[in-house]
């Protein structure tokens, strides 16, 4: 019986195991997970803090026990230390039993994920946390409850940091937001994100830009300007690094930033070794360029692809992705897709920008939506899009993704048929209008 | 100077005029409108009754005066009685001046729209109305205010009837719903629309199915079962007929139901005569079959096409449409696209049906969404789709429309990338899942 070892049992690894079992009843599957839990909804963690996921256990999609029922062996607290891709075996450390052993595979699926970054000043600070897994969630809530904490200092302006701001406010806590620059939420264009700070202030958040914590003593944190603030709870959401140290010397190719290189089959540079999830380098669907996208959609899709590849269905491949993403920040929805802002600069392009109400303008409840697209001058394709508003943003970004995926150009957006009724759109939707605007711009270039 | 006459000044005609003027500054444009008003948002009329469009005047997008500023002549209360397509002239009746005259055109655009149907028993009943134009809206509101009416009898289970039920309930009025069959909202599959009657009853609507009004005397309406009900206001929303009587003998081809035949340029069977809006027969984008779709999206798109065609831009054509539509009914969103249910039966097809929560299932606020697609066994394409739920329906139907338009198959829905974050979707969206389900069904056929 063939043996498939999976490194990492969170979203990517657990989904790959489930898909593989579904397609391939005759393969032995073992998951080694370094942490305590598998298959939890990590994107949902902040929403348990804010109360929108009232049942914490609902975040757990599968347990070692439920996996065992599907004939999948799960070993938690088991860290894979090394991969010997020549001998097709891994070295595993059982941290509960404090022993090391080797295990042989026919197929290896790597889903190690990322390791959250932190700040030097927060090392060994007992009230400093990240929110990366279910254990972190439990620890944060235990700290709040155990110490009667009603105040939190949030560091980092990425999506996890911002989602946490919203959710701690919802929990009724006083929030201080500390960020080392003035640039909040880098995925979005600065001039489209004016509302971030306004909204924080409206929500009573104490906003400290261009500031960093340099020292924490007891419950007091000292900032780089010398000020001391009350910090009975500190949560850092300052990004992740791929957890791929253990692959050094394995022969499995990593890129310069340590991400595992993959292609359209999910295979790494080494036969029978596949990778998915937040630690891989993959490619853009629309340009073919390399990218790293730590998002769940791609991980789920790649799980399906790898399960099929291992099972001999070689025509099932990964098409690449657009990095389509969305974040809610209080009333706002912020979505982008395609190239990052700095990547667009490498292309000869023009920008089409449009604001329109999300539904028929005569409806009292209609609200503005702001769409910006970056169009290739070479072929008229959409390289990047950003959409911001308080309603209907998810719809527009998803339509754009579907359109771009099948080769639709910017001008062709004029032809997109939408379901129109006053509560949902205008007869000429915001995307139609950006298509018409593109057509006019292209005419100007022709003149 | 060339002269373009436009018959009908509501959405289709007014938009065609505006587009033509924008592209073609050197053409003379005259709109003849039979009614009192032009260019009003007729889809928004019910929402003024319910209060979601609090400013009735916002429903008016353009007036004869604002059109004059753009050098477009508008004649309201002017009905075109005949078209002589050989001599390229129309006969017009000025109902305010009570005179007839002829006018010559180089181009003729027909946007006569539909005429609302009514019931024999409602003829000459002073409190019986339809809601087809702004005048009807004003009349209904004047009747309510003038007679202190707090009760309305609604007839018809199409989208106008259902929207009116919601809006009269919102207005705080007692609503009686009378429908001659048990089939409510024909565009939707019966078994997906269980909620219609339940929701009406929950909202306190007095529901009378398999009933018809046979006589009205004073404020009393007699039903066909002999019962007498209080009916101080009756509104019928039982459909429209194309208003194309005036084209008899013109040589302009109508289909068997009286709709004006058009093609991908908007041209009728006669040179220099174009048509758009609710009175035309057009074609499905995905099958090429003929259809009539009385929806605003197609009218707006065709206005652009015709304006371009008349202006010599012959490469701008109408691609056909999917009839993508949506209706809100209280909390519910009901959307369909593609072939009608009876039309699907002409194709060798299978059905894929799927229910999933609209966002991450662990979110307390997640709600079910129900998607059904009809897949051609011949080529795997989606012939028809229906989506029902209380949140996120518009997004799914619009993604489907964008996908189908560019040739995406049912199985290919598995590849659609969505913006995932717990408040918006699952990592495998409801559309991804219906794609995966299709793949499994196709495998069964292969076996």
Give the pLDDT score at B446.
78
Pairing mode of beta strands B260-261, B280-283: parallel
Residue B316 resides in a domain: no
Instruction: Say if residue B447's pLDDT is above 90.
Output: no
Stretch (H or E) spanning A234: strand A234-236
Residue A52 resides in a domain: no
Instruction: Say if residue B74's pLDDT is above 90.
Output: yes
β-sheet bridge partners, residue A198:
none
Q: Does the CA dihedral B199-B202-B204-B207 come out positive or negative?
A: positive
- Dist. CA A75–CA A67, nearest whole Å: 11
The closest CB to that of A423, out of B321, B328, B406, belongs to B328
Residue B164 resides in a domain: yes
Pair B103, B131 in one domain: no
Chain B residues 275-294 within an 8 A CB cutoff of chain A: 285
Pair A107, A246 in one domain: yes
Give the pLDDT score at B89.
98
Give the pLDDT score at B326.
98
CA distances from B435 to B42, B371, B372, B381, B432 (A): 37, 11, 11, 11, 5
Within 8 A of A425 by CB-CB distance, chain B residues are 394
The mean pLDDT of chain A is 97
CB contact (8 A) between residue B421 and residue A327: yes
Quote the minimal CA–CA distance from B403 to chain A in Å: 6
Over residues B404-416, the mean pLDDT reads: 98
Out of B205, B236, B267, pick the residue that ends a domain: B236
Task: Report the residue of chain B nearest A59, measured CA to CA.
Answer: B362
Closest listed residue to residue A230, CA positions, set A310, A174, A298: A174
For the entire predicted model, the pTM comes to: 0.97
- Dist. CA A421–CA A438, nearest whole Å: 25
CA distances from B70 to B64, B66, B269 (A): 10, 7, 30
Within 8 A of A299 by CB-CB distance, chain B residues are 427
> What would the pLDDT profile of A246-271 be if each residue is shown by its tens digit?
999 999 999 999 999 999 999 999 99
CA distances from B423 to B42, B362, B410, B442 (A): 33, 10, 26, 32
β-sheet bridge partners, residue A291:
A282
> What would the pLDDT profile of B342-364 be if each residue is shown by its tens digit?
999 999 999 999 999 999 999 99
Q: Look up tokens 């023009």; give the residue.
A: A350
Q: Does the CA dihedral A124-A129-A135-A140 come out positive or negative?
A: positive
Residue B337 resides in a domain: yes
Residue B322 resides in a domain: no
Instruction: Say if residue A111's pLDDT is above 90.
Output: yes
- Dist. CA A41–CA A13, nearest whole Å: 13
- Dist. CA B233–CA B215, nearest whole Å: 14
CB contact (8 A) between residue A397 and residue B419: yes
8 Å CB contact between A332 and A367: no
Give the pLDDT score at B32.
98
Pair B185, B215 in one domain: yes
Reported confidence tier of residue B441, pLDDT bands at 50, 70, 90: very high
- Dist. CA A190–CA A194, nearest whole Å: 7
Instruction: Say if residue B438's pLDDT is above 80.
Output: yes
Give me the torsion for CA of A131, A134, A138, A140, rounded to 10°.
Answer: 0
Instruction: Say if residue A214's pLDDT is above 80.
Output: yes
Q: In this structure, what CATH number is given to the domain that contains residue B135?
A: 3.50.50.60
Chain B residues 7-46 within an 8 A CB cutoff of chain A: 11, 41, 43-44
Reported confidence tier of residue B432, pLDDT bands at 50, 70, 90: very high
Helix, coil or strand: residue A431 = helix
Instruction: Say if residue B5's pLDDT is above 80.
Output: yes
Closest listed residue to residue A334, CA positions, set B391, B431, B421: B421
Pair A67, A123 in one domain: no
Over residues B213-226, the mean pLDDT reads: 96
- Dist. CA B137–CA B146, nearest whole Å: 14
Instruction: Say if residue A447's pLDDT is above 90.
Output: no
CA triple B43-B46-B49, angle to 5 deg? 145
Residue B315 resides in a domain: no
- Dist. CA A116–CA A242, nearest whole Å: 9
CB contact (8 A) between residue A326 and residue B397: no
First to last CA, chain B: 68
- Dist. CA A381–CA A389, nearest whole Å: 24
Helix, coil or strand: residue A403 = helix
* CB of A417 less than 8 A from some CB of B: yes
Q: What share of chain A is helix, strand, coil (3-state, %, to 5)?
A: 30, 30, 40
Pair A87, A129 in one domain: no
Closest listed residue to residue A420, CA positions, set A431, A409, A435: A431
Which two structure tokens, joined as six digits, stand for B310? 């008349």
Over residues B50-56, the mean pLDDT reads: 98
Pair B99, B122 in one domain: no
Q: Look up tokens 């957006």; give the residue.
A: A413
8 Å CB contact between A122 and A128: yes
Quote the minimal CA–CA distance from B259 to chain A in Å: 22
Reported confidence tier of residue A96, pLDDT bands at 50, 70, 90: confident
Stretch (H or E) spanning A306: helix A296-310
Pair B108, B247 in one domain: yes
Give the pLDDT score at B91.
98
8 Å CB contact between B344 and B384: yes
Angle between helix axes A430-446 and A393-405 (nearest 10 degrees) is 50
Q: In this structure, what CATH number is given to the domain that contains residue B437?
A: 3.30.390.30
Quote the minimal CA–CA distance from B32 to chain A in Å: 23
Quote the minimal CA–CA distance from A192 to chain B in Å: 19
Number of residues that this document lists for chain A: 447
Number of domains in chain B: 3
Number of residues that this document lists for chain B: 447
> What would the pLDDT profile of B155-195 be if each residue is shown by its tens digit?
999 999 999 999 999 999 999 999 999 999 999 999 999 99
Helix, coil or strand: residue A346 = coil
Stretch (H or E) spanning A99: strand A99-104
The mean pLDDT of chain B is 97
β-sheet bridge partners, residue A259:
none
Closest listed residue to residue A281, CA positions, set A308, A232, A331, A318: A318
Give the pLDDT score at B98.
86
Pair A145, A201 in one domain: yes
Pair B81, B151 in one domain: no
Secondary structure tally for chain B: helices H, strands E: 10, 26
Within 8 A of A319 by CB-CB distance, chain B residues are 415
Neighbour tally for A70: CB within 10 Å: 13
CB contact (8 A) between residue B418 and residue A324: yes
Reported confidence tier of residue B96, pLDDT bands at 50, 70, 90: confident
Residue B207 resides in a domain: yes
Give the pLDDT score at A158.
93
Pair A128, A209 in one domain: yes
- Dist. CA A433–CA A414, nearest whole Å: 6
Range of the domain at B92: 3-41+60-114+242-310
Give the pLDDT score at A446.
78
Out of A236, A262, A281, pick the residue that ends a domain: A236
DSSP A130-146: ---SHHHHHHHHHHHHH
- Dist. CA B136–CA B143, nearest whole Å: 10
- The dihedrals phi and psi of B191, each to the nearest 5 degrees, come to -75, -10
> What would the pLDDT profile of B276-311 be if each residue is shown by its tens digit?
999 999 999 999 999 999 999 999 999 999 999 999
Pair A125, A109 in one domain: no
- Dist. CA B72–CA B68, nearest whole Å: 5
Reported confidence tier of residue A97, pLDDT bands at 50, 70, 90: confident
Helix, coil or strand: residue B174 = strand
CA distances from A76 to A38, A65, A239 (A): 8, 11, 24
Contacts of A199 (CB under 8 A, 6+ apart): A329, A330, A331, A332
Catalytic member of B4, B43, B261, B272: B43
Over residues B242-247, the mean pLDDT reads: 98
Provide the ipTM.
0.97
Helix, coil or strand: residue B107 = strand
Active site residue B43: yes
8 Å CB contact between A360 and B52: no
Residue A352 resides in a domain: yes
CB contact (8 A) between residue A43 and residue B407: no
Over residues A198-206, the mean pLDDT reads: 98
Interface test with B, best of A162, A321, A419 (most B CBs within 10 A): A419
Q: DSSP character for A151? A: E
Closest listed residue to residue B23, CA positions, set B44, B47, B4, B49: B4
- Dist. CA B428–CA B419, nearest whole Å: 10
- Dist. CA A320–CA A266, nearest whole Å: 10
CA distances from B86 to B207, B243, B250, B268, B296 (A): 53, 21, 8, 14, 31
Out of A219, A236, A253, pick the residue that ends a domain: A236
Pair A336, A413 in one domain: yes
């Amino acid at each position: 019986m063939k043996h498939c070892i999976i490194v990492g049992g969170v979203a990517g690894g657990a989904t790959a195991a489930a898909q593989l079992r579904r397609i391939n009843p005759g393969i032995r599957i073992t998951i080694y997970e370094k942490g305590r839990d598998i298959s939890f909804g990590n994107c949902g963690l902040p929403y348990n803090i804010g109360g929108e996921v009232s049942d914490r256990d609902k975040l757990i999609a599968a347990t070692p026990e439920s996996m065992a029922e599907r004939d999948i062996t799960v070993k938690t607290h088991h860290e894979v230390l090394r991969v010997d891709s020549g001998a097709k075996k891994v070295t595993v450390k059982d941290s509960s039993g404090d022993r090391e052993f080797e295990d042989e595979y026919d197929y290896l699926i790597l889903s190690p994920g990322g390791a959250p970054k932190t700040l030097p000043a927060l090392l060994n600070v007992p009230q400093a946390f990240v929110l990366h897994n279910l254990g972190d969630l439990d620890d944060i809530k235990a700290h709040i409850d155990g110490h009667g904490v009603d105040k939190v200092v949030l560091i980092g302006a990425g999506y996890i940091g911002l989602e946490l701001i919203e959710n701690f406010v919802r929990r009724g806590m006083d929030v201080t937001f500390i960020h080392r620059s003035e640039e909040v939420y880098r995925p979005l264009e600065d001039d489209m994100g004016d509302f971030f700070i306004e909204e924080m202030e409206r929500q009573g958040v104490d906003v400290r830009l261009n500031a960093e914590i340099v020292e924490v003593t007891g419950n007091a944190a000292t900032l780089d300007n010398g000020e001391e603030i009350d910090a009975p709870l500190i949560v850092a959401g300052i990004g992740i690094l791929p957890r791929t140290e253990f692959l050094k010397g394995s022969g499995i190719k990593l890129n310069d930033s340590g991400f595992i290189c993959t292609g359209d089959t999910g295979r790494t540079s080494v036969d029978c070794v596949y990778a998915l999830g937040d630690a891989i380098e993959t490619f853009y669907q629309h340009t073919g360029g390399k990218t790293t996208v730590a998002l769940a959609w791609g991980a789920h899709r790649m799980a399906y692809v790898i399960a099929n590849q291992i099972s001999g269905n070689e025509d099932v491949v990964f098409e690449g992705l657009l990095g389509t993403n969305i974040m809610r920040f209080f009333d706002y929805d912020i979505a982008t897709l395609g190239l990052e802002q700095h990547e667009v600069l490498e292309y000869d392009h023009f920008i089409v920008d449009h604001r329109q109400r999300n539904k028929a303008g005569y409806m009292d409840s209609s609200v503005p939506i702001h769409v910006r697209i970056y169009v290739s001058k070479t072929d008229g394709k959409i390289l990047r899009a950003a959409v911001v508003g308080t309603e209907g943003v998810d719809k527009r970004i998803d339509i754009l993704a579907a359109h771009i995926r099948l080769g639709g150009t910017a001008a062709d957006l004029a032809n997109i048929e939408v379901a129109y009724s006053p509560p949902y759109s205008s007869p000429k939707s915001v995307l139609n209008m950006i298509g018409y605007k593109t057509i006019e711009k292209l005419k100007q270039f022709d003149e």
